[in-house]
Structure 1
Amino acid sequence: MSETQIDIIRHGEPEGGRRYRGSSIDDPLSKIGWQQMWDAVPEKPPWEHIITSPLSRCLKFSEALADTMSIDFSVVENLKEIGFGSWEGRTPEDIKNLEGDALEKFLLDPVNNRPEGAEPLDDFANRIWTVYEDIAEQYHGQHVLVVAHAGVIRAITSSILGMALDDVYSRLKIEYAAVSTTRISAGKKPVMVLT
């Protein structure tokens, strides 16, 4: 098989409700989140390997799926979600109440309005793209599943489609357990596939 297919699934709903979970918040999946993930898995999963973020909302499902499928999985530290700095663990309502229009500015222009101590968006996108290229090289010709985060899918989408990071981050909504597919044919650039 000369084509490489990389399916990327966002984790399901975590425990703790809606809040900014970046690289340092490690909430597990809720009961609903587990169900969302299993519902997203096809009846006959095609994957030959699973690659996962180390955060438990991704890792625990990856372990369970790999065990069910009797295949190997790998944990990649750099697949962690982007760091949100001072917003880690905080709800949108809390940020609005305590920081005025900071959240609105962030949502309109996430590149230039990062929370204090947050990972720069360009650095994050470069980190994720390096991981993506490593996966494409290491699993060349295979069909693999990456279990990760909304930010990871946005960063990869931005790179593949050549879109500005602020456009992708402010305009692309990624639901829990949403799957994004990319394919790479020999000698060609990766493409996004909607099915």
Structure 2
Amino acid sequence: MDTPDTLIDLIRHGEPEGGKKYRGQTDDPLTERGWQQMWTAVGGHRPWRRIVSSPLSRCAAFAHALAGEMGLEAATDPRLMEVGYGPWSGRTTDEIRAEEPDAMAAFLRDPWSNRPVGAEDMERFTARVLAAYEEHRSGDDGPLLIVAHAGVLRTVIAHNLGMPLENLFHLQIPYAGRARFHAPDGRLRLTHLAARPPER
């Protein structure tokens, strides 16, 4: 049960090396700009007592750096990795469209149902993400920060708002985008969604 003290922040990684592509579980590190985006996004007010991250370097490297500055230890959880794109991993839309135009068109129409052959099933992906989320949010050690990927943030936001998970692709999360859930009256509410730190 949530209390008035419940505070859960989610942050997407910053810009990774390699440009825009279906990165999935490809382990690209952050660019220098990506690091700057992350530090800007967390701002100076850092209320967290717990930091949990995807183990992929574009999330985990920053999570450990932030935790070190705060005198904390960041935990990593493989269930918070981005959805796997199978053979599309690391490839751009144009590259895929040139080789598989019908599959790309179907995916863009309905990315939940029309997965690339060999990609991770969305039901399996959302189930693992939400299992990790519920486990970590159940702790009573104070405010929680989760550092993860766009797909992970979409899943948790849709879940917390009672949206059909099939609609999670309607949520656009920019690099270093943040979401805050707070329970001022004992009911979890989305109180912030932006690419900048929330007001205190």
> Is the Cα–Cα contact under 8 Å of residues 15 and 30 in structure 2 kept in the other structure?
yes
- Asked whether 1:150 is paired with 2:150, we answer yes
Per-residue CA deviation, residues 12-40 of structure 1 (Å, 9 max, x unaligned), is: 000010111112x0000011101100111
* 8 Å contact from structure 1 (residues 5, 141) kept in 2: no
* Structure 1: 5+ residue stretches without partners: none
Q: 1:6 aligns with which of 5, 8, 28?
A: 8
Q: In 1, distance between residues paired with 2:19 and 2:11?
A: 20
Q: Which residue of 1 aligns with 2:173?
A: 174
TM superposition shift of 1:141 = 5.7
Deviation of residue 2 (structure 1)? 5.0
Q: 1:192 maps to what in 2?
A: 190
Q: Which residue of 2 aligns with 1:18?
A: 20
Q: Secondary structure at the match of 1:113?
A: coil
Partner deviation per Cα, 1:53-79 (whole Å, 9 max, x = no partner): 000000100111111111121111111
TM-score, normalising length: structure 2: 0.89
Secondary structure in structure 2 of the residue aligned to 1:168: helix
> Cα deviations across residues 120-160 of structure 1 (Å, max 9, x unaligned)?
1111111111111101112x261111100000011112211
Question: Using the alignment, how far apart are the partners of 2:73 and 2:141 within structure 1?
Answer: 17
8 Å CA contact 1:2, 1:141 repeated in 2: no
1:137 & 1:42 partners in 2: Cα distance? Answer: 25
The farther-off stretch of 100-109 and 37-46 is 100-109
- Identity across aligned pairs (percent)? 44
The residue number in structure 2 matching 1:183 is 182
Check the 8 A contact 1:14/1:57 in 2, yes or no: yes
Give the SS at the match of 2:138. Answer: helix
Name the structure 1 match of 2:39. Answer: 38
* TM-score, with structure 1 as normaliser: 0.91
Alignment of 1:40-189 (within 5 A): 40-138=41-139, 140=140, 142-169=142-169, 171-184=170-183, 188=187
Letter in 1 for 2:190: M
- The secondary structure found in structure 2 opposite 1:125 is helix
Deviation at 1:102, TM superposition (A): 2.2
Change (3 A) 1:136 1:184: farther
- Matched to 1:191, the amino acid is R
Instruction: Give secondary structure in 2 for the equivalent of 1:90.
Output: coil
In structure 2, give the amino acid aligned to 1:29: L
Distance, in Å, in 1 between the alignment partners of 2:6 and 2:127 is 21
Return 5+ residue gaps in structure 2 as ranges.
193-197
The total of aligned residue pairs comes to 191
Note the aligned Cα RMSD (angstroms): 1.8
